[in-house]
């Protein structure tokens, strides 16, 4: 179970080209856009208000900075691995090289919680805002077509969520370049609206709403004061999740050694700047306690400006944000299973490449159905906690992997090196474990059940079909083609 996949073989795989391979079409700019597409969802528009009203007040800006620093610890570790092992598979591939096959399987199976169920979670939220948009134009969909089976008497299906997941899955089959172009457009739309909110709202900031900037603690930990900033950071941390999806596109990057760190860290920096400015304007427009229990705090704040037209723009931006997140999550999931299939741990079905589009179309179709079932029939709160705990678990293992590889292979060339090892990885682990601890007990139970199922599949199928185990060496699967000129 402790068989490790040699890094030299992984690198050789990433240099292969041919028919049954993924197509290299993504520039560094596209990788940054991919990261922004995965990170900026409607969490910016909703979590900011909750964190300000319940925890930090105007100092929610400091919460965003603190959360960004915590997220950067994991991001720096991902950047080192992604530049050194530029292969599709993300944390799965990194674990295979550092901790062995069994742990690689565990993390690959865990990534289903982040990517597939993440796409389902966002699909459900996309449906809610799509119905708000229809309402603006006087159109109302029946409740049984917009809610999950458990949320409606007599049963129901969240049809808009199923439709958006299906459409984006088909887009991914058509091609990575086309999907990246769509993502770039969606990123431009949502970033433009965020910048518009900041620029138009800035002159309406009332300094009195920022006084005091750090409200006095109420005597309860996490309710304002310094502890409130920390509690707010734990909440808004989840607004940064998604940057790691960039690493799943390593075999479709034109220059992965250079592009991966730029994509991961560049998207984190850009999103942090936008988040801090957005939060500063939002809390400056109205007193932060106005956001208490408000489902649309950004729209509430912007009423002060008189630019009511932007409320519709916010809905459109949120829809664009959710769409790009779903797209990137679906792409990441298919690439992880593609890589696991190439290693023999999953059936060959998952590594079938379309002869024309050169995308893993069967994997895309499988997850179109899988994600649609969860998006259509499972409540969003149950999905959200599973996504969070799965993501944090993956982050922790990547941080551990960086420290292990520095000990076992210190002389290996690293195009990007995580600074201050072991401090940075250890801090990444501390942040992730703290946030996992803060999640409900039910999330841990679901994680245990999901992992138990995954371990059973590994021993019944994966272990016996492992390419590494059966042949004593890795037969390099044909992977990415050379960049097109």
Average pLDDT over residues 425-444: 86
Residue 102 has pLDDT above 80, yes or no: yes
User: Would you place residue 460 in the very low, low, confident or very high pLDDT band (cuts 50, 70, 90)?
Assistant: very high
Predicted confidence (pLDDT) at residue 429 exceeds the cutoff of 90: yes
Rounded to an integer, what distance in angstroms lies between the CA atom of residue 167 and that of residue 323? 10
Query: Which residue has better confidence, 342 or 8?
Result: 342
Per-domain residue ranges of the chain: 28-467
Residue with more model confidence, 137 or 210: 210
pLDDT reported for residue 95: 85
CATH T-level fold of 28-467 = Amino acid/polyamine transporter I (1.20.1740)
Give the integer Cα–Cα distance in Å for 226 and 217. 8
The rounded mean pLDDT for the chain is: 82
Q: What is the mean pLDDT of residues 69-97?
A: 82
Task: Measure the CA–CA gap between 142 and 147, rounded to whole angstroms.
Answer: 9
List the Cα angle 243/122/332 in 5-degree steps. Answer: 40
pLDDT surpasses 90 at 210: yes
pLDDT for 268-290, tens place per residue? 999 999 999 999 999 999 999 88
Distances from the Cα of 120 to the Cα of 64, 375, 376, 455, angstroms: 26, 4, 8, 23
Say how far apart CA 264 and CA 34 lie, in whole Å.
9
Task: Supply φ then ψ for residue 253, to 5 degrees.
Answer: -90, 140
pLDDT of residue 192: 87
Please report where in the chains the tokens 């592009």 appear, as a residue. 259
User: What was the pLDDT predicted at 19?
Assistant: 41
Q: What is the pLDDT of residues 182-198, one digit of tens each?
A: 778 888 888 888 888 89
CA distance 130 to 125: 9
How does DSSP classify residue 348? G
What would the pLDDT profile of 16-58 be if each residue is shown by its tens digit? Answer: 544 445 566 778 888 888 888 778 876 677 778 888 988 899 9
475: left (phi over 0), alpha (psi -120 to 50) or beta: beta
- Token pair belonging to 266: 């560049």
pLDDT score of 456 more than 90: yes
Regarding predicted confidence, which is higher, 481 or 295? 295
> Residue 367 CB: number of other CB atoms within 10 A?
26
DSSP string, 146-191: TS-GGGSTT----HHHHHHHHHHHHHHHH-HHHHHHHHHHHHHHHH
Which residue has better confidence, 61 or 40? 61
Phi then psi for residue 22, to 5 deg, are -80, 150
Three-state SS string over 376-408 comes to HHCCHHHHHHHHHHHHHHHHHHHHHHHHHHHHH
Question: According to the model, what pLDDT value does residue 480 have?
Answer: 41
Measured distance CA(211)–CA(213) in Å, rounded: 5
Residues 6+ apart with CB under 8 A from 426: 399, 403
Tell me which of 217 and 18 has the higher pLDDT.
217
pLDDT per position as a tens digit, 382-403: 666 777 788 888 889 889 989 9
| 129 close to 321: Cβ distance less than 8 angstroms | no
E strands within 69-141? none
Q: Which of 21, 47, 193, 122 is nearest to 391 (CA)?
A: 122
Give residue-wise pLDDT tens across range 219-241.
888 889 998 898 888 888 878 87
pLDDT band, very low/low/confident/very high, at 368 (cuts 50, 70, 90): very high
What percentage of the chain has pLDDT greater than the value 90?
A: 21
Alpha-carbon span 482 to 347, nearest angstrom: 27
Span 460-469, mean pLDDT? 89
Question: Taking residues 259-270, what's their average pLDDT?
Answer: 87
Share of the chain above pLDDT 70, in %: 88
Q: In this predicted structure, which of 128-132, 213-217, 464-468 has the lowest mean pLDDT?
A: 128-132
Q: Which of 98-107, 172-181, 206-215, 260-269 has maximum average pLDDT? A: 206-215
Distance CA 100, CA 102 (A): 6
Q: Residue 228: which residues within 8 A CB-CB, separation 6 or more? A: 55, 56, 57, 59, 214, 215, 217, 222
Confidence of residue 205 (pLDDT cuts 50, 70, 90): very high
245: confidence class by pLDDT, cuts 50, 70, 90: confident
Report the b/e string of 430-450 with b at 16+ CB within 10 A.
ebbeebbeebeeebeebbeeb
Q: Can you tell me which residue has the tokens 């019944």? A: 460
**Banded pLDDT at 215 (limits 50, 70, 90):** very high
Residue 150 banded pLDDT, cuts 50, 70, 90: low
Residue 377 above 50 pLDDT?
Answer: yes
Burial of 177 (0-12, 13-18, 19+ CB in 10 A): middle
Structure-block tokens of residue 249: 């596109």
CB within 8 Å of 356: residues ≥ 6 apart: none
User: What does the chain come to in residues?
Assistant: 485
For 133-142, 149-158, 281-290, 431-440, which range has the lowest pLDDT when averaged over its residues? 149-158
Instruction: With a cut of 50, say whether residue 466 has pLDDT above it.
Output: yes
Look at residue 414 and tell me whether its pLDDT is greater than 70.
Answer: yes
Burial 122-145 (b: 16+ CB within 10 A, else e): bbbbbbbbbbbeeeeeeeeeeebe
Task: Say which residue, 83 or 167, is predicted with more confidence.
Answer: 167
Q: What is the mean pLDDT of residues 298-303?
A: 78
**Which pLDDT does position 476 carry in this prediction?**
46
Read off the pTM: 0.77
């Amino acid at each position: 179970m402790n068989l490790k996949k040699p890094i030299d073989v992984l690198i050789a795989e990433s240099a292969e080209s041919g028919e049954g391979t993924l197509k290299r079409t993504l520039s560094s700019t596209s990788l940054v856009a991919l990261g922004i597409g995965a990170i900026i969802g409607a969490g910016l528009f909703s979590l900011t208000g909750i964190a300000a009203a319940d925890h930090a007040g105007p100092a929610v800006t400091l919460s965003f900075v603190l959360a960004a620093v915590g997220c950067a610890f994991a991001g720096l570790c991902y950047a080192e691995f992604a530049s050194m092992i530029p292969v599709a598979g993300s944390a799965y591939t990194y674990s295979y090289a550092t901790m062995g096959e069994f742990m690689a399987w565990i993390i690959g199976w865990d990534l289903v919680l982040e990517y597939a169920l993440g796409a389902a979670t966002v699909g459900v939220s996309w449906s809610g805002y799509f119905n708000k948009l229809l309402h603006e134009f006087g159109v109302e969909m029946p409740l049984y077509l917009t809610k999950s089976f458990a949320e409606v008497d007599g049963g129901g299906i969240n049809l808009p969520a199923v439709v958006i997941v299906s459409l984006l899955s088909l887009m991914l089959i058509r091609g990575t370049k086309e999907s990246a172009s769509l993502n770039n457009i969606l990123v431009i739309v949502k970033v433009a609206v965020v910048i518009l909110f900041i620029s138009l709202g800035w002159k309406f900031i009332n300094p009195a709403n920022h006084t005091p900037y750090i409200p006095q603690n109420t005597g309860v930990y996490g309710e304002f004061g310094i502890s409130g900033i920390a509690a707010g950071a734990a909440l808004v941390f989840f607004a940064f999740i998604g940057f790691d999806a960039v690493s799943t596109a390593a075999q479709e990057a034109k220059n992965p050694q250079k592009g991966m760190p730029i994509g991961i860290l560049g998207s984190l920096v850009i999103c942090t700047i936008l988040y801090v400015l957005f939060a500063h304007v939002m809390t400056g427009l109205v007193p932060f306690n106005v956001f208490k229990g408000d489902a649309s705090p950004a729209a509430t704040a912007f009423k002060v400006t008189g630019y009511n037209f932007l409320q519709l723009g916010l809905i459109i931006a949120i829809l664009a944000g959710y769409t790009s997140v779903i797209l990137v999550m679906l792409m990441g999931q298919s690439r992880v299973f593609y890589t696991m299939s190439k290693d023999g741990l999953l059936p060959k079905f998952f590594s079938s490449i379309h002869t024309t589009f050169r995308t893993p179309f069967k994997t895309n179709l499988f997850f179109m159905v899988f994600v649609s079932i969860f998006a259509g029939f499972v409540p969003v709160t149950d999905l959200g906690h599973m996504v969070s705990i799965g993501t944090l678990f993956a982050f922790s293992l990547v941080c551990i992997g960086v420290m292990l590889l520095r000990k076992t292979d210190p002389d290996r060339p690293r195009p990007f090196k995580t600074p201050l090892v072991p401090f940075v990885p250890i801090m990444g682990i501390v942040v992730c474990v703290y946030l996992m601890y803060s999640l409900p007990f039910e999330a841990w139970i679901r994680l245990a059940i999901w992992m138990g199922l995954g371990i059973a599949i590994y021993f019944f199928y994966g272990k016996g079909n492992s390419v590494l185990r059966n042949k004593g060496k890795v037969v390099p699967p044909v992977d990415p083609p050379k960049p097109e000129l």
